[in-house]
Amino acid sequence: MLTIPSDIWEDMIEHARALDPHECCGILAGRDKIITGHYRITNILAKMSEAELARFDQVKLSDLKRLSPEERADIAFQMDAQEMSQAQKDIRQKDITLTAFYHSHTFSPARPSITDIKIAMEFESYREKLNIPEPVHVIISLQDKTNPVIRAYRIQDSTATEVPVERR
């Protein structure tokens, strides 16, 4: 069970709406799966040039290179590393734990895509070196613009399993 306070819940939806039709992304932190910290992180796929992408030699981006930055941000996200490390610094200072990564789906349901699962598994391959506990993956769906849906998942062995989310 993941518990998200109402103000953070609303702020995540506001973040998703602000970036729509692009995907937003961010970090949630807290203690014992009760969220107390929310960090909006820039989706760098939304603003990367072709030259920058060429230097960004990750296999997962090879397919994305053919798309325009706008198209890329619609279907995927990559968190800005510097903002992530700033968030982690703040999380350490507050003595809380990085608990979840979130991103939005602007046209599809609140379920991990094949790309989401690939990115999560890639993250799993070096997560322990970063000393980060296994994150929950939260997805905000704006498929129905008047009724945003938030769901959470564990992603292990290329399989997503839903984790109940409670709004408090």
**Which stretches of the chain bind Zn ion, using CB under 5 A?**
113, 116
Residue nearest to Zn ion (CB): 116
Across 54-74, b (16+ Cβ under 10 Å) vs e yields eeeeeeebeebeeeebeebbb
CB 91 within 8 A of CB 85: no
Cβ neighbours of residue 148 closer than 8 Å, sequence gap 6 or more: 13, 16, 17, 140, 141, 142
Across 141-167, b (16+ Cβ under 10 Å) vs e yields bbeeeeebebbbbebeeeebeebebee
Pick 36 or 115: Cβ nearer Zn ion:
115
**Whole-angstrom Cα distance, residue 42 to residue 94?**
22
Which residue is listed with tokens 């700033």?
A: 86
Pick 82 or 143: Cβ nearer Zn ion:
143
Pick 51 or 114: Cβ nearer Zn ion:
114
Hey, which residues does 98 pair with through a beta bridge? 29
In the bound complex, what is the minimum distance in angstroms from residue 116's beta carbon to Zn ion?
A: 4
In the bound complex, what is the minimum distance in angstroms from residue 131's beta carbon to Zn ion?
A: 25
In the bound complex, what is the minimum distance in angstroms from residue 18's beta carbon to Zn ion?
A: 17
In the bound complex, what is the minimum distance in angstroms from residue 115's beta carbon to Zn ion?
A: 7
In the bound complex, what is the minimum distance in angstroms from residue 24's beta carbon to Zn ion?
A: 11
Pick 34 or 61: Cβ nearer Zn ion:
61
Pick 59 or 114: Cβ nearer Zn ion:
114
